[in-house]
Amino acid sequence: MSQPRDAVTGTATSTAAEQAHIIDRHAQYLIETAARAPSVHNSQPWRFRVGPQAIELWCDPRRKVQGDPIGREMLVSCGAALYGLRLAVRSLGCQPVVDLLPDRSQLRLMARVSAGAAAPINGLEREMLAAVPHRHTHRGPFTPGPLPAGLLAGLQNDALAEGATLVFVEDALSYARLAQIAAAAARRGDLDPRARAEIRRWTRTAASTARDGVPAVALTARVPAQANRGRLPQRDFDLGRSIARLPGGGAPPVATAVLLTSGDRRADWLRAGQALQRVLLHAATKWVFASLHTQPLENAVTRALIRDQLALPGSPQMVLQLGLAHSAASTARRPPGELTNLRTGAPNGKGPWPRLSRAVRPYRLAGARALTELVKPQRTPSAEDLPGAVVFRAGALDQLLGAIRRRGFRLVGPVIKDGAICYDDITSAADLPAGWTDEQDAGTYRLRQRDDGALFGYNVGPHSWKKYLFPPHARLLPLEQPPAEPFAFIGVRACELNAIAIQDRVFLGGQHKDPHYEARRDRAFIVAVNCGQAGGTCFCASMDAGPRATSGYDIALTELLGAGAERAKSGEDGKDHRFLAEAGTARGAEVLAEVQVLPAGDPDIGAARAVTEHAAASMGRAMPELDLRTLLTDNYDHPRWDDVAARCLSCANCTMVCPTCFCFSVEDVSSLSGGDPAGRPGPERPDGPERHRSWDSCFTMDHSYLHGGPVRVSTRSRYRQWLTHKLATWADQFGTPGCVGCGRCITWCPAGIDITEEVAAIAADS
């Protein structure tokens, strides 16, 4: 990290003209300093945008870890980067002017920083700046010895100066309670395949040249608990791979602390991050380092438990353990060129700062592989286990379908039916909606022909794969047997993969699994298709659920169209109409081995990447990137509920087309013939009582019926229940939001009610 002259001398800039452009002239140095901030798994979830007089800090949700569904840890990390940016501006002889969360319409914009009045850097700030390169999250053994006198009080003052509180856990009972909570969180993480997959994603071997993630030299080999006496449990980054290079054990930390904020909103998280980096840098000036424990804080319940058990006067944002260490094993950071967007054209703040390109919106599927493993635990194939990407001509798609069918699967895919693209049985590629697409908007859906022969050139329709895994009607007792042929789903979108993963958590993630769902889900074969376009109601990118599938599939396809697409439409196998295919499981690789393929070259991979980037850039909607749980639970009495209730018909269309909604009703019937209470035909059933399950909706009056009558009588209360559960309290139950951004609830609402618009309206007044 090279420092400019002003950073070395700490002198003020000589003229007002120079000061006005100090940000622009020293942009690389400022970004390098800010990017040395800590982040969960060294994910570095930030970007910067430079203007002549100011620099903007943006969060980058593509790099948000899966254990952070509402983005709290991401914003804490960005807050730490913001303090580094402020310190770098101080080193140039100026007071930083910070505009926190300056634009409510730009939800990823964290702060705008400019150079203010001239002021020389002080001694402690100069020491903290010098500590930036060697400050690191300490996972190895500490050095025995006490901390420098007065340091802990100084760290508390640092936190207070940033609007936070640093509380030291000093009595044995409080520490024992914290250790117990941390140990339980660690055990849950060890057993959660989603968490283990996330660790694999962000850990680096000794040979890796990656400039993000946790390198082997910063990993600690797991040792028996007694060897880590006095130390809170740390994540097992090694996972039995023997890649860790740091020894375990050693001297325990000297102090344990919890960083708190009085509130628990986006601004509070950013303040916590600034306080954290200030505390860490001050400590590092004395060669005191901290191990950061985020695992106990990833779950809202355990965060509340820590607050209650330790009687803390605020919301816990970070748990730290401090000790001496004489090492400088800091981890690599991405260079400024990877962290910056184009320079802005608003030098004086009078014009709008450009929005982040939709092409860089997040399109990471959150946790589908882990939830799949809940059904049938199996070793997740590594990159070395599976072949690389391959390409095949569109005409060879029947070879793929044939290979799947020969393995005994029932093919289900998109077909044109009743004026829409629906899911039904298929036998070959000829059944697919070649050359057709759909146009969607609020309350609007229509088909139109494309000018090419795309087989998957449409958006999602009224059907979801839920109807096969969680059928609208099912007999629970006696248990209805699943279809003899397992399903092979052809054309599953990334948002739908995420929806299946969510329903896996609902039906299979608890102590009592649903045998009806499990029997269908366990054997399903999934062929995903990455989206090449986004519909007018799609917003999966803002929900981290698409448009690119990254896990949870057996095979993923990307349809590539070129000059040969017209020939493909006319029946000729144009070489430019092709598919790029990636195997996600061993059985997917076996199927691809029976197809005439060629290894994918860089042009093919680049073209596939461009396809999903185009879809990400053309989303018709976006969910506001806010703490939705706090927003909705704090606004139960917002007047917007009355406004939407006046438009809502309580027809339940939104819940019927939703791929994640799982409400159902159960009916018991006694019949001498054992007949279905609805009179539906079926196979012979034994005489006696039966229990049947049918889809239901929270929009129906009877859904909230308790003794004496329904609880939610008004449309207002029912819509509020649906939206609040979908976007807020669902995460409390299952660890993820209940929405994947597919847009079906918007398209198929006869009143055209838009879930993203309703959230934005509430946020605008909050």
Our measurement of the distance from residue 127's CA atom to the centroid of its chain's CA atoms, rounded to an integer in Å, reads 37
Q: Which of 168-182, 286-300, 358-372, 567-581 has the lowest mean pLDDT?
A: 358-372
Burial of 81 (0-12, 13-18, 19+ CB in 10 A): buried
Two tokens, residue 101: 């969360």
In 3D, which of 405, 391, 407, 527 has the Cα closest to residue 456? 527
In 3D, which of 360, 366, 494 has the Cα closest to residue 67? 366
Length of the chain equals 766
Two tokens, residue 71: 């983005």
Alpha-carbon distances of 580 from 4, 272, 410, rounded to whole Å: 48, 44, 23
Across 25-41, average pLDDT: 94
DSSP 8-state assignment for residue 296: G
pLDDT, tens only, 458-511: 999 999 999 999 999 999 999 888 899 999 999 999 999 999 999 999 999 888
CB contact at 8 A, 244 and 234: no
Alpha-carbon distances of 370 from 129, 195, 367, 518, rounded to whole Å: 41, 8, 5, 15
Two tokens, residue 750: 């006869």
Q: Confidence band (pLDDT; 50, 70, 90) for 457?
A: very high
Which of 436-466 are b and which e, b meaning 16 or more Cβ less than 10 Å from the residue's Cβ? bbbebbbbebeeeebebbbbbbbbbbbbbbb
Q: How far is it, in rounded angstroms, from Cα 72 to Cα 299? A: 11
Quick check: helix, strand or coil at residue 184? helix
Our measurement of the distance from residue 396's CA atom to the centroid of its chain's CA atoms, rounded to an integer in Å, reads 35
Residue 379 has pLDDT above 90, yes or no: no
* pLDDT computed for residue 351 by the predictor: 31
- Which secondary structure element, helix H or strand E, spans residue 604, and what is its range? helix 602-617
Strand-pair partners of 560: 578
Across 414-435, average pLDDT: 96
* pLDDT computed for residue 417 by the predictor: 93
Residue 362 has pLDDT above 70, yes or no: no
CB contact at 8 A, 286 and 48: no
Angle between helices 494-508 and 368-375 (to 10 degrees): 40
* pLDDT computed for residue 505 by the predictor: 92
* pLDDT computed for residue 243 by the predictor: 81
Residue 375 has pLDDT above 50, yes or no: no
pLDDT, tens only, 136-157: 998 888 899 999 999 999 999 9
How far apart, in Å, do the first and last CA atoms of the chain sit?
41
Across 91-103, average pLDDT: 94
Two tokens, residue 412: 């289900």
* pLDDT computed for residue 19 by the predictor: 61
Residue 251 has pLDDT above 90, yes or no: no
Q: Please, which contacts does 231-235 make with residues 24 or more away whose CB atoms are closer than 8 Å?
A: 231/291, 231/321, 232/178, 232/179, 232/182, 232/256, 232/291, 232/293, 232/319, 232/321, 233/179, 233/182, 233/183, 233/185, 233/186, 233/295, 234/139, 234/186, 234/291, 234/293, 235/186, 235/189, 235/199, 235/295
Strand-pair partners of 375: none
Q: Confidence band (pLDDT; 50, 70, 90) for 62?
A: confident
* pLDDT computed for residue 682 by the predictor: 52
Q: How far is it, in rounded angstroms, from Cα 506 to Cα 127? A: 52
DSSP, residue by residue, 13-52: PSSHHHHHTHHHHTHHHHHHHHTTS--GGG---EEEEE-S
Across 259-263, average pLDDT: 95
Q: How far is it, in rounded angstroms, from Cα 82 to Cα 597? A: 49
* pLDDT computed for residue 689 by the predictor: 86
Who's near 430: CB < 8 A, 6+ residues apart? none
Q: How far is it, in rounded angstroms, from Cα 317 to Cα 78? A: 13
Q: How far is it, in rounded angstroms, from Cα 697 to Cα 708? A: 20
* pLDDT computed for residue 225 by the predictor: 57
* pLDDT computed for residue 687 by the predictor: 63
**Alpha helix stretches (DSSP H) within 132-171:** 151-161
Q: How far is it, in rounded angstroms, from Cα 695 to Cα 702? A: 13
Q: What is the biggest distance separating any 2 CA atoms in the chain, rounded to whole angstroms?
A: 97
Sheet-wide strand order for 410-417: 420-425, 410-417, 487-492, 525-529, 555-560, 578-583, 390-393, 598-599
Burial of 171 (0-12, 13-18, 19+ CB in 10 A): exposed
pLDDT, tens only, 652-689: 999 999 999 999 999 998 866 545 555 554 554 556 78
- The CA R_g of the chain, rounded to the nearest whole Å, is 28
Across 330-337, average pLDDT: 86
Q: Which of 75-79, 285-289, 369-373, 403-407 has the lowest mean pLDDT?
A: 369-373
Say which residue, 521 or 240, is predicted with more confidence. 521
Q: What count of other Cβ atoms lies within 10 Å of the Cβ of residue 402?
A: 17
Sheet-wide strand order for 690-695: 473-477, 690-695, 664-669
Residue 282 has pLDDT above 60, yes or no: yes
* pLDDT computed for residue 238 by the predictor: 79
Say which residue, 426 or 617, is predicted with more confidence. 426
pLDDT, tens only, 439-453: 999 999 999 999 999
pLDDT, tens only, 185-224: 888 888 888 888 888 888 888 888 889 998 888 777 766 5
Residue 33 has pLDDT above 90, yes or no: yes
Report, in this order, helix, strand and coil percent for the chain, each rounded to 5.
Answer: 35, 20, 45
The per-residue pLDDT of the chain, averaged, comes to 85
Across 549-575, average pLDDT: 68
Who's near 500: CB < 8 A, 6+ residues apart? 368, 371, 465, 469, 492, 521, 526, 552, 659
Q: How far is it, in rounded angstroms, from Cα 9 to Cα 604? A: 52
Backbone angles phi, psi at 260, to 5 degrees: -120, 155
Alpha-carbon distances of 584 from 140, 152, 201, 466, 709, rounded to whole Å: 35, 50, 15, 21, 50
Q: How far is it, in rounded angstroms, from Cα 434 to Cα 126? A: 65
- Which secondary structure element, helix H or strand E, spans residue 474, and what is its range? strand 473-477
Strand-pair partners of 256: 321
Residue 267 has pLDDT above 70, yes or no: yes
Q: How far is it, in rounded angstroms, from Cα 218 to Cα 232? A: 17
CB contact at 8 A, 422 and 465: no
Two tokens, residue 494: 């990334």
pLDDT, tens only, 700-751: 988 888 888 888 999 999 999 999 999 999 988 888 899 999 999 999 999 9
Across 510-517, average pLDDT: 90
